[in-house]
Structure formats: C-alpha cells, structure tokens
Structure 1
Amino acid sequence: MTITPPTSPRWTVSDSTRASIDAVFAGFTNTTPGVAMAIYRGGEIAYANGYGMSNLEHNVPITPSSIFHVASISKQFTAMCIALLQDDGLLDVDDPVQKYIPELPTYEYPITIRHLIHHASGIRDHWMLLDLSGWREDDLVTMADCYDLVRRQQELNFTPNDRFMYSNAGYMLLAMIVEKVSGKSLREFAHERIFAPLGMTRTHFHDDHSEIVPGRTQAYKPRTGGGYRVSIPQFDVVGTTSLQTTVEDFAKWNAIFESPTICSAEMLAQAQTPGTFNSGEPMAYGWGLFLEEWCGQRRVWHSGSNHGYRAYYFRLPNLDFGITVFANLSTVAPDQLAARVARIVLGDLLQEDSDAEISTTEHSDIVMVDPAAMVGVYLADNPTDNEPPLHVQLDEEDSELIMPFGRESVSLPLADDGRFQLWSGFGSCWAMEIDDSGIVQKICVQLPATRETYSRLDTSSARRNITSFAGTYYAPELDISIQLVEDATSGRLSWRQRKQEDRSVVLLDTNTLGMGSLDASIRLEFSFDENDMPTEFRFSADRVKNLLFVRQ
C-alpha cells in the first residue's frame, strides 16, 4: 500500500456532513446508553456531539463535555510522563526496571523501561493473573494487588524484545516508576505536567474508585432478557488504565501533535516512532500508541475497554484529521463508528481498505442457522507458541453462541453473507467454511491488525482418557490451587477454583487440554512421570504463557 504524502487538508464538516454523521449514531436514543464523538482539525474541534444517555436512572444525556473512563487510551499519557522524566534527566528508558523497582525478580534476561513502553518485556498481564487467582470482575483491585501478583512471577512470557505481547502490567509498572522518580503520584504528575498546562480541566487519572466525579457517565452492559445493568470499574489501578476525560478535553491533547507546547517536537516524534525488535524488525507500536497504515494513510491510534466503557481515538497526521468516540455501553464498537465517520468526512481522500469494517447498523438481514453447527474447539492453522484454542460454546438458556474474547464473552449474530459481527469487541469480522453436512470446519477471524484461521479439532484420535488428568494442582507463582474434577455421570472434566464457576475442559491431544472459559481460551500442556501419570502442566492464554501448575 502506498502512503499518501503530507498534504494540506481538503475537508470540511458542512451541515449536510453533520447530518450524515448524526445518522451513524441514530440508534442511540433517550432510552439507551450511547457515545460522545468529536472530530479534530487544526488543533480545534471541527464537530462534536453526544448521542444517547449518560445516566439512565436520572435521564442525563451525553454531551461532548460528559466524562468517560477511557481505559487503555490512558497508556499514551503514562508514556508521556516517562518521556518528560527522561527529558528532565531523572531516568533513562534504557535503564533496567529493577533500578527503580528493586523488589521485582531478576529475570534470566534484563528488562528495560523501553521494553515496558513497547509491550515487549515478556511480563505477564496482571488482569489475567487476577482472573486466574480467583478475583471476580467487580472485586476491588488496587495497585498493590496487581504488583503483588507481578512480582511473584519468576518467569517471563518470552525473551524481552523478541516479540510484541500486550501487557497491562508493563504500564502499571511505568506508573510506579513515575511515582518513584518524581515523588508524586501519576495523577499528580500528569496533572502538573500535562493536563493543567493544556487546560484539560475535566481530565484526571482516577486513582480512587470511591471518588465522586461530577459529570461522569455511568456505564452499562446488556441485561439478559432486555434492558441494561450497571457495569463500572471497581479498581484503583492507574497507568495502564483509569484516565477519565471528555472528547472536548481530548482536542487539546490531539493538538500538541501538530503544535507542541508541553514538550519538544522531538519527543512527540519519538512517541510516534515504532519500536524495534531484537531482530531489527519494526513494531507496530510506539509510546502508548499503535502505528499502522489504513486506507492509504498513516494512522496513529489506541482503543480502550473496561467493564461497560469503550473508547477509541485515531489520528491521520497527513490529513490533519483526528477523532474520538467514547461509549458507555459494552456492545458498542467505537473503532467502527469512528471509521464510518472518517469515510463520511474524508471521502475520496481515503483509499479503499481491503479489510473494511463491517457496518454495525442493525439493518443487515439475519439468517437462521443451527447453532450446534458451530459449537466446538478450533485450533489456529499458524499458531504462535502455545496459542490457546478457539472454543465456541452454546448458551442453552439463551440459545446464543458464545465466544471468549479477551476478558469478555460475546454473542455472535450471523449476517446473510456468512459473517459474524463481534459486537463487544473492536471490529472483528468472522467467516466460516461449512462442510456438506452443515458443520462448520474453519473459522477466519479478522481483527483490526491481524487475521487468523482456525480449523475444527478432531479429538477422536486422542489416545489418553481425559479423566486421567483429574487432580489438584498448585501454582507457586500465584499461591493458589485449582482442581480438575471428573463428573461421574458424564465423564467430563472441569476446572474448579474458588469464587469461579466450573469451566469445561476438553482433550486437544494426548498431552494437552484446552479450556474455553468465558474469560479466555486456555491451553494446558502436561508432563508425565514414568508411570504415565500427570505431574504438572503449563498454563497458556493470550497474555500469560507457560505458568507452572504442579500436581499435589
């Protein structure tokens, strides 16, 4: 793809364009949660509006000044704090992390601050570790809780800087480094050096879950049977998340990339420069920002997702175009909404995109299929190391297909072109291959940055009885025990741990079990003694690899 060279902007937001933009959000009304949206140009807001309700209980509408939790969009601000401290001469991003956090283990390979910034450290993700330790989504989680789990980890997911693997723990550690070096909390430092100078008066790092924030939106998830339920974060974790802001305030942040005020132009260029792997290959990530090509343009972006909040921000630097879409409903795909608005505004300035987003409107024809035709376990055709299986289940109570996606579970509506729309993810397209008997044999999943094909697993050739894996297993790096429990009636195996519902386990091959929980797809690789009895297994999911469990 050829990148369009820098050009003077040739776009405006006319009255007719505004009407077309508003039509994109017509599904958000005075009875639903919704979104705030803003388009930026020349350091100013070209158009902003709110759609739907900020608070359903009190009939408060969303406006451009409504405050949203924007989750991982926070990371670019944490990275900027680190850059400012380096510019002050108080740290070097190539310093080892243990220089500032000496309580961390000394791993086989050194980890630097730069590795944390680029998600190339290999440090296991604390959200997955919390899930695995029995924490529920609505439990109160603090920085100390996350750090305690991270510092217990004696192994890494991979050799630092060999690969990219998104790790929220890395940015949690960056927040700790800001505090250690500056003597101020991340909230205080970011306020003094970023938010106050820029006039972002309705923006802060939210480090106290009990704090009252006037003008903040309530967040929601759909309730089974209709309506909505409240879903807001219950954690005091910053750095990796917890920025609260508005689409109006965000205009002031977006403007600094064109007219630096709080830092040098060189620092901003660094933030938008890809990291480099040990191999010399470039990453698709800078300092808290993804970097990619889209529709013939360079796109700088990040998304955010916690509980019922969804957020998306992207810039097209060569067109002086920026957009934010912040939502307070878990089933909104803000990246798709932002892309649709960009196409309306920019028109022919954008090239056709081979992986164009699927419309999120509800006007597509829906066809009836037998959900049982898709239920099963699928393995990646070109897996990375210990990649977990794709486990599609059937919720018999609600007659919906359920697919684990990150820390969420989602239903999969099928459109008449054979594609699924992953409503609570970020713009995922699904395609299937179906055999003559109507059974799905392959699933292709297109995410914004990757595409993977999964083939149905045939477990009929596995020679080991699944019940032989039953027993109690202990994870020393988590200090927890789990049980693999046999159901005497069905002969099936389940994963059991405290504070969690049992999760079904399936046999992938002679030495491997797979688990399709509602939180993540998981792979368990077993070792055996001379009597062919399991002695331990290594747990691998999307952001935690090779975590040891020893049989008791």
Structure 2
Amino acid sequence: MSLITKVDELFIQWDKPDSPGCALAVIQNGEIIYQRGYGMANLEYEITISLNSVFDIASNSKQFTAICIVLLARQNLLNLDDELQKYIPEIPQYNQPITIRHLLDHTSGLRDYLTLMFFAGMIFENKYSNEEIIALIARQQNLNFEPGTEQLYCNSGYILLAEIVRRVSGKSLRIFAQEHIFAPLGMKNTHFHDNFKEIVENRANGYAPKDGGGFQLDMSFHDFCGDGQLYTTIEDLLLWDRNFYHNILGGYGQDLIEEVTTPRKLNNGEVISGSFGLQIGDRGGLKTVSHGGSWTGYRSDFIRFPDCQFSVICLANLSTINPTKLAFQVADIYLENDYIEDIVKPISCSISSINLPVVELQLKTGFYYNSTTGSIWKLEIKNEKLMAKLAWMYFQLAPIDTKHFQSVDNEIDYDIEFSEDLTRMIVKVELANGITTSTLEKTLDSPNDLLTDYLGTYYSAELESEFQIILANNKLYFKSKGYSPSHLRIVGQDLFLIYPICADIYADKFEFVRDPEGRVVGLYRCSHRVRRLYFSKQ
C-alpha cells in the first residue's frame, strides 16, 4: 500500500460531499509533498476544501502573537522581563510581579478569561471588545498561583499580549502582524479576524454535529483576538513553515527562531513544555515543535519535526475531528524509518464485543468525576447501548466483558474498566506522549437533607455577576443568566459539581463556605483554569 493511500484512509470518513472535513499538507524541506482537501468547506453551496480554503486556526494563533511581542522586544520598545503593569496599569498588583515573559510562558497564574466569561454568564456569541475582556481580567483580585511557580494554559495572557502590542506600537495586533509578519512573508490570505462581520473570501465554515444527524454551523461571533482568531490557509502556512528554517522577519536571522524554541523553566528550575505559543516535545525520539487549536467548529494542528525539516498541517472545520491525532498518524506513516525510538503502541481495540442486557448496562450509568484533572463523564443508555458524554464527544462504550469496555468510533481511544462495586471506573487513554491511566469516582445525587442551607443568591464582585441556587423536585439547581438551570451533584461534604457544564472537558465545582455557627455564607467556584473564585451569599 502506498504512503498516499495510507494517509487517505485516515480521512476517509470525512471525504464525502455531505460532510465537513480537513485540509492536509505534508511538507518536506520547504515543499509540499502531499496535500489534499477532505470533505466540504461549505455545505450550503457544496464547496470542497482546498489548499486555499481559509480556516480559523484558534489557539495556533498564539505563536503569531508571541512573535509580534518578540519583534517589539528586538526593536527595544519593550523588555520581556518588564512587569505587565508597566503597559497595562489597570491590572492589579499581586504579591509577586507578573512579567511579559510569564504571559508568553503560561506561568502568570492569571485566571482564564474564557472560564470567567462562562462564570459571569457572558454569552460567547455576543460581541465583546478587547477592552471589555481586559476589564474582566483586571477585576480579578487573586491568582491561581504565584507567577513562575506553575505552568497552566491561559488565554488571558495572550489577550493581554495583544493589548501590549497595541499600546506599545500604536497599532492593532491585526495591523502590526500584517506589516511585520504576513506582508514580509507573502502570506496574502492571513489576518487576525478582529471584525466578525467581515466577509472572508474562501472561508471554510465551522460545523458541529446536530442532534438527530447532520451538521449545524458553529462559528465565532466576537472581535477580540490574540489568543485566537487568526484566519489562514494551508498555502500561507507553508510560507510560515519555510521561515522557521530561514527567518527573514525583522532581519534578525535564525537566532529569533532559537529564542522562541529554547525550553523555558519555572522558578524551581523545572523545564516547562513550551512557550511563545509553541509546544516542544518528541515523537519516536525526534524533537517536535507544535501547537493545536480548538474553538467553536474549528480544529487545527501544526506539527514540525525540525531535525528532518518535516511538517504536517491539519486544519479542520468540524468540532469532532481530532487533528492532533491525525497529524501524528500522518507523520508516523512518513517517518517510520526515521524514528529512533519505538512509538508507544496504541490501546488495542478488541475486534469483537459481547452483548450485555440493558439492565446490566444500566448499572454503569451515571456521572464519574476525576478529582485530579477535574474531568467529568456522563454515561447513559441510548438505543440499548452504553453511551459516554465527555466535553464535545459522544460515543459508544462497547462491552468486552461485564466490567471491561472500549470506545467505538471516537476520535480518541478509551479503554475502561469498572470496579467490582461499580463506584469507580479506570480510564486508559492514548495521548501523543503515551498512554495515561486515571481513576474516576461515581458521583451521588443531591443530599436528602440540609438542601435549604444552600439556597439563595450568590454574588461575585470580581465578575460583577450573580446566580441563584434553587430547589426543584427535591434537587438543587444552579440558575444563571444566559444558561439553562443545571443540576448540582454532590461529590463530598459541602462540595458539588454542576452538570451539564460548558462544552469543556473540566468540571465546574462549588465549595461551600460556612461560618462558625454552621451557616452557609458563600462558596468558591472552581474549574481547571479558574481556582477558588469567591461568591458571597446575599
């Protein structure tokens, strides 16, 4: 079987006229050695995906924001070790200073604005300006951690970097990037999309699955950018890839590329996984420089193997596609003989499953919570099958035996084993760097007593927003503007999870606070990227 045939087989499920799909490019020594469009850029007008289709590449945009900052530093208009407040004084002073470098490294400790927006009931489809988002970040009186002590992915940092570009250069991120990156490299179809009403020629629409089958539009309707919102094409990203090996930006040569790909460290000397909008890793013993993107109906990944001058770019316009997995699989096909270490073998999938009675499957249904990562799974029965809901994914779990199940037709492979008492499930998942194992605990329903303790209105001055906890059918519900009421499920003493949650893999957790007399006076709301945000009971 030829290399091309092997690659095409990876994308066959989307390569049809009634499905969104992917644009793929395989690059060797600065030239495309294989490129294909699989599926449709626009289902309404039956436009296929091509080399020139324009995609929102979501968080892959961060590397371009970072380069703008580095260019300003090279022009001596700022220093990467300057404190953030030098340029954005409305951000409060914390116990330890936050520097521009902390923003680039995701080590600032700032709360992530996307989670803050969700907590505040700010609908993502509405139009918000960069100024409104910065004001939201500036109202936060506490950090997730002291700057430089941890690395936690933070979109807030890159929104602030975009604002620093504007205040230092006097030009928007869009204009500065156009003048200093896109125009010099000839990237004619690339821009930061800071006006959601703007018409974009050759745009690939973003899509998500629709209940009952088919697809629906899933696109961004806001103007703020820096952490995302870069629109580009495979053809333009080829030019960006060439510059990685022969930099011409600012006339600084390859030392600029070396700066943004040199591993960074935490305060304790621990090396972090990446900075400057790039992730440094390895595959088969070869160094990789990559980054992914995920927002609304768009997914992307751009993976380089610099020692081989080999890259794979995968841009998708469907929310259920996993371009990271696909891009690595394409790389494995081409680089099989170049790898110097064995690739971790994927989770083996049984070729046959057994039939279990629905009553047996029913025992496994419910909610399962990972206290380490904050992820939450919902298992339910649909059409006499055990189905799993995890973030944007919805897939079948096929029984291998009464306690052992495997995912079916999902972009991520899961192997699941239930404990004898069915209170826990052990999940194995194949990631880019190998197989990880985690244990999830089954949650309980609302407690049968003391429900009235929690009822009331809760307010956060940092969000300038409030919500209510109400009682319905002897269960607790969370009610906030912009969202349907959500059930509070107990996972510990005065500790609850919200479900359903935002389309995010991490749980939304409430930790209630009582006074010395035992009365509930407030709560801390916690998620993966926002830790312990306080709401007082009114």
TM-score, length basis structure 2 = 0.91
Taking the TM superposition and a 5 Å limit, the aligned residue runs for 1:379-528 are 379-380=370-371, 383=372, 388=374, 390-392=376-378, 394=380, 401=387, 403-405=389-391, 409-415=392-398, 418-420=405-407, 423=410, 428-436=412-420, 441-448=425-432, 451=436, 453-457=438-442, 465-487=450-472, 489=473, 491-519=474-502, 520-528=506-514
Q: Which moved more, 1:143-152 or 1:133-142?
A: 133-142
Q: Does 1:353 align with 2:343?
A: yes
Q: Does 1:277 align with 2:266?
A: yes
Q: Which residue of 2 aligns with 1:7?
A: none
Q: Which residue of 2 aligns with 1:5?
A: none
- In the TM superposition, what is the alpha-carbon distance from 1:447 to its structure 2 partner? 4.4
- In the TM superposition, what is the alpha-carbon distance from 1:157 to its structure 2 partner? 0.8
- Structure 2: how far apart are the matches of 1:94 and 1:494? 46
- Does the aligned pair in 2 maintain the 1:428–1:448 contact within 8 Å? no
Q: Which residue of 2 aligns with 1:223?
A: 210
Q: Which residue of 2 aligns with 1:378?
A: 369
AA aligned opposite 2:21: G
Inter-CA distance 103–422: structure 2 relative to 1 (3 Å threshold): farther
Q: Which moved more, 1:513-522 or 1:409-418?
A: 409-418
- Structure 2: how far apart are the matches of 1:458 and 1:357? 27
Q: Which residue of 1 aligns with 2:315?
A: 326
- Structure 2: how far apart are the matches of 1:548 and 1:446? 36
AA aligned opposite 1:346: L
Taking the TM superposition and a 5 Å limit, the aligned residue runs for 1:64-75 are 64-75=51-62
- Does the aligned pair in 2 maintain the 1:336–1:358 contact within 8 Å? no
- Structure 2: how far apart are the matches of 1:452 and 1:255? 38
Taking the TM superposition and a 5 Å limit, the aligned residue runs for 1:109-188 are 109-188=96-175
Q: Which moved more, 1:226-235 or 1:128-137?
A: 128-137
Q: Which residue of 1 aligns with 2:46?
A: 59
Q: Which moved more, 1:456-465 or 1:210-219?
A: 456-465
Taking the TM superposition and a 5 Å limit, the aligned residue runs for 1:254-265 are 254-262=241-249, 263-265=252-254
Inter-CA distance 272–127: structure 2 relative to 1 (3 Å threshold): same
Q: Which moved more, 1:514-523 or 1:369-378?
A: 369-378
- Structure 2: how far apart are the matches of 1:158 and 1:261? 38
Deviation readout 1:432-485 (Å, 9 max, x if unpaired): 222346665333455446845133247599897344222211111001111111
- Structure 1: how far apart are the matches of 2:448 and 2:184? 66
- Structure 1: how far apart are the matches of 2:370 and 2:10? 36
- Structure 2: how far apart are the matches of 1:533 and 1:41? 65
Q: Which residue of 2 aligns with 1:196?
A: 183
Inter-CA distance 496–282: structure 2 relative to 1 (3 Å threshold): same
- Does the aligned pair in 1 maintain the 2:501–2:508 contact within 8 Å? no
Q: 1:292 aligns with which of 276, 281, 287?
A: 281
Q: Which residue of 1 aligns with 2:324?
A: 335
Deviation readout 1:475-506 (Å, 9 max, x if unpaired): 1100111111112x3x2111111110111112
Q: Which residue of 2 aligns with 1:314?
A: 303
- Structure 2: how far apart are the matches of 1:252 and 1:492? 57
Deviation readout 1:78-102 (Å, 9 max, x if unpaired): 0000111101111001000110111
Inter-CA distance 143–368: structure 2 relative to 1 (3 Å threshold): farther
Inter-CA distance 282–145: structure 2 relative to 1 (3 Å threshold): same
Inter-CA distance 396–465: structure 2 relative to 1 (3 Å threshold): farther
Inter-CA distance 107–24: structure 2 relative to 1 (3 Å threshold): same
Deviation readout 1:169-225 (Å, 9 max, x if unpaired): 100000000111111111111111111111111111111000001111111111111
- Structure 2: how far apart are the matches of 1:372 and 1:521? 23
- Structure 1: how far apart are the matches of 2:224 and 2:108? 20
- Structure 2: how far apart are the matches of 1:108 and 1:412? 45
AA aligned opposite 1:163: E
- Does the aligned pair in 1 maintain the 2:377–2:389 contact within 8 Å? yes
- Structure 2: how far apart are the matches of 1:391 and 1:329? 22
Q: 1:546 aligns with which of 524, 532, 535?
A: 532
Taking the TM superposition and a 5 Å limit, the aligned residue runs for 1:357-372 are 370=361
Aligned partner of residue 257 in structure 1, secondary structure = helix
- In the TM superposition, what is the alpha-carbon distance from 1:265 to its structure 2 partner? 1.2
Aligned partner of residue 397 in structure 2, secondary structure = coil
Q: Does 1:41 align with 2:24?
A: no
Inter-CA distance 173–516: structure 2 relative to 1 (3 Å threshold): same
Inter-CA distance 353–16: structure 2 relative to 1 (3 Å threshold): closer
Inter-CA distance 460–172: structure 2 relative to 1 (3 Å threshold): closer
Q: Which moved more, 1:142-151 or 1:174-183?
A: 142-151
Q: Which moved more, 1:387-396 or 1:199-208?
A: 387-396
Q: Which residue of 2 aligns with 1:6?
A: none
Q: Which moved more, 1:256-265 or 1:122-131?
A: 256-265
Q: Does 1:304 align with 2:289?
A: no
In structure 1, runs of 5+ residues without a counterpart are 1-14
AA aligned opposite 2:492: D
Aligned residues: 522
Inter-CA distance 90–368: structure 2 relative to 1 (3 Å threshold): farther
Taking the TM superposition and a 5 Å limit, the aligned residue runs for 1:73-112 are 73-112=60-99
Inter-CA distance 128–299: structure 2 relative to 1 (3 Å threshold): same
In structure 2, runs of 5+ residues without a counterpart are none
Deviation readout 1:77-129 (Å, 9 max, x if unpaired): 00000111101111001000110111111122210000000111011111111
AA aligned opposite 1:238: C
Q: Which residue of 2 aligns with 1:266?
A: 255
- Structure 1: how far apart are the matches of 2:499 and 2:293? 24
Aligned partner of residue 117 in structure 2, secondary structure = helix
Inter-CA distance 324–371: structure 2 relative to 1 (3 Å threshold): farther
- Does the aligned pair in 1 maintain the 2:447–2:490 contact within 8 Å? yes
Aligned partner of residue 482 in structure 1, secondary structure = strand
Q: Which moved more, 1:257-266 or 1:183-192?
A: 257-266
- In the TM superposition, what is the alpha-carbon distance from 1:298 to its structure 2 partner? 1.1
- Structure 2: how far apart are the matches of 1:294 and 1:217? 30
- In the TM superposition, what is the alpha-carbon distance from 1:287 to its structure 2 partner? 1.1
Q: Which residue of 2 aligns with 1:529?
A: 515
- Structure 1: how far apart are the matches of 2:288 and 2:123? 36
Inter-CA distance 302–51: structure 2 relative to 1 (3 Å threshold): same
- Does the aligned pair in 2 maintain the 1:358–1:429 contact within 8 Å? no
- Structure 2: how far apart are the matches of 1:317 and 1:481? 49
- Structure 1: how far apart are the matches of 2:409 and 2:167? 41
AA aligned opposite 2:471: E
Identity of aligned residues (%): 33
- In the TM superposition, what is the alpha-carbon distance from 1:232 to its structure 2 partner? 0.8
Inter-CA distance 137–465: structure 2 relative to 1 (3 Å threshold): same
Aligned partner of residue 348 in structure 1, secondary structure = coil
- Structure 1: how far apart are the matches of 2:53 and 2:274? 29
AA aligned opposite 2:195: D
Q: Which residue of 2 aligns with 1:4?
A: none
Deviation readout 1:311-368 (Å, 9 max, x if unpaired): 1110111121101000111111111111121111122222332264889xxx976766
Inter-CA distance 457–53: structure 2 relative to 1 (3 Å threshold): closer
- Structure 1: how far apart are the matches of 2:173 and 2:428? 41
